[in-house]
Chains A and B, each alone.
Chain A
Amino acid sequence: NAGVMQNPRHLVRRRGQEARLRCSPMKGHSHVYWYRQLPEEGLKFMVYLQKENIIDESGMPKERFSAEFPKEGPSILRIQQVVRGDSAAYFCASSAKQGADEKLFFGSGTQLSVL
């Protein structure tokens, strides 16, 4: 069984470009969570999605950031007009059901570097 797959592993963008990060959850998982880890900090919750629905986006910056989890295909975290402060590791996790009792499976992350 493949785990949570994130790609690309490393993404380099220049200021003003768009970044698209992909996350394929574990097979059978319909709940996806995105976290961001800034340098020297712990992971911070960004958004929680179920298939085709955003459940909680309270951790998402108000502008330039969006996320989707379509009926078919991976979840996408999209960052428009990237700035240097967006440089971070972005982690995706998935679970079969909601709830802390449900085990979260994390991907290896995408390291975004903005030049």
Chain B
Amino acid sequence: AQSVTQPDIHITVSEGASLELRCNYSYGATPYLFWYVQSPGQGLQLLLKYFSGDTLVQGIKGFEAEFKRSQSSFNLRKPSVHWSDAAEYFCAVASRSNDYKLSFGAGTTVTVRA
């Protein structure tokens, strides 16, 4: 069964500093990979996704993620965080055969301090 691990439950970062959120997956073949963000009281919003091709994926709001097959990882990065980036971030995977069925990690809460 596929699984997604987000090792960091909570990260605090200063405004303007860089941010990296870790995501590891366990799956037999390369799945589709996603990062979502959830602000308080809001639904999940797609930041970016990887299907194939270039392993460095650019997303919205200045985020990017890099797929590393050898490490089964899909870490999310942002060079300089803004206070509005404070939210919960979810990594998700979907198999290529049942691509509508996402499996989510438990999430990482990001706090941004001034």
Q: A interface vs B, CB < 8 Å?
A: 3-4, 31, 33, 35, 37, 40-45, 48, 56, 58-59, 91, 93, 95, 98-101, 103-109
B84 within 8 A of A: no
Q: How far is the CB of B60 from chain A (nearest CB, A)?
A: 12
22 A-B contacts, Cβ less than 8 Å apart? A4-B43, A35-B102, A37-B104, A42-B104, A43-B44, A43-B90, A45-B102, A48-B101, A56-B98, A58-B101, A91-B44, A95-B100, A99-B99, A99-B100, A100-B94, A100-B96, A101-B51, A101-B99, A104-B102, A105-B43, A106-B45, A109-B43
Q: B interface vs A, CB < 8 Å?
A: 4, 6, 32, 36, 41-46, 49, 51, 90, 92, 94, 96, 98-107
A-B contact count (CB 8 A): 65
Q: Given A33-B100, A48-B100, A98-B100, is A42 in contact with B43 using a C-beta cutoff of 8 Å?
A: no
Whether A100 contacts B99 by the Cβ 8 Å rule is: yes
Choose among A44, A91, A103 the residue that contacts B46 (Cβ–Cβ < 8 A).
A103
Residue of A nearest to B101 (CB): A45
